[in-house]
Amino acid sequence: MTIKPGEHLPETTLQRIGEGVETLDTRDLFDNGKVVIFAVPGAFTPTCSERHLPGFIANFDEFRKRGIDVACVAVNDPFVMHAWGESQHVPDGLMMLADGNGDFTRALGLEMDASAYGMGTRSKRYAIYAEDGVARQVLVEAPGEFRVSSAEHVLSLL
69 lies in a domain?
Answer: yes
For 36-54, give the DSSP string.
EEEE-S-TT-HHIIIIIHH
Q: Where would I find the beta strands (DSSP E) of the chain? A: 13-18, 20-25, 34-39, 68-74, 95-98, 111-113, 121-123, 126-131, 134-140
Per-residue confidence (pLDDT) for residue 115, from 0 to 100: 79
115 lies in a domain?
Answer: yes
64 lies in a domain?
Answer: yes
3 lies in a domain?
Answer: no
Nearest-angstrom CA–CA distance, 76 and 32: 25
CATH number of the domain that residue 40 is part of: 3.40.30.10
Nearest-angstrom CA–CA distance, 99 and 118: 18
Type of residue at 121: T
Per-residue confidence (pLDDT) for residue 49, from 0 to 100: 83
Which band of pLDDT confidence, cut at 50, 70 and 90, is reported for residue 112? confident
CB 86 within 8 A of CB 44: no
Least confidently predicted of 42-51, 57-66, 111-120, 149-158: 111-120
Per-residue confidence (pLDDT) for residue 116, from 0 to 100: 77
Within a 10 A sphere around the Cβ of 141, how many other Cβ atoms?
19
Q: Cβ neighbours of residue 84 under 8 Å, at least 6 residues apart?
A: 43, 44, 49, 53, 76, 96
5 lies in a domain?
Answer: no
Catalytic residue at 72?
no
Per-residue confidence (pLDDT) for residue 145, from 0 to 100: 92
Q: What are 5-22's pLDDT values in tens digits? A: 999 999 999 999 999 999
Q: Cβ neighbours of residue 40 under 8 Å, at least 6 residues apart?
A: 47, 48, 52, 53, 72, 73, 74, 123, 125
| Domain hosting residue 49, numbered range | 13-157
> How many domains, in total, are found in the chain?
1
Q: In 3-state terms, what secondary structure has residue 2?
A: coil
Per-residue confidence (pLDDT) for residue 48, from 0 to 100: 82
As a whole number, the mean pLDDT across the chain is: 95
Per-residue confidence (pLDDT) for residue 46, from 0 to 100: 78
123 lies in a domain?
Answer: yes
Nearest-angstrom CA–CA distance, 91 and 62: 13
103 lies in a domain?
Answer: yes
Which band of pLDDT confidence, cut at 50, 70 and 90, is reported for residue 118? confident
122 lies in a domain?
Answer: yes
Q: Which of 14, 40, 48, 97 is catalytic?
A: 48
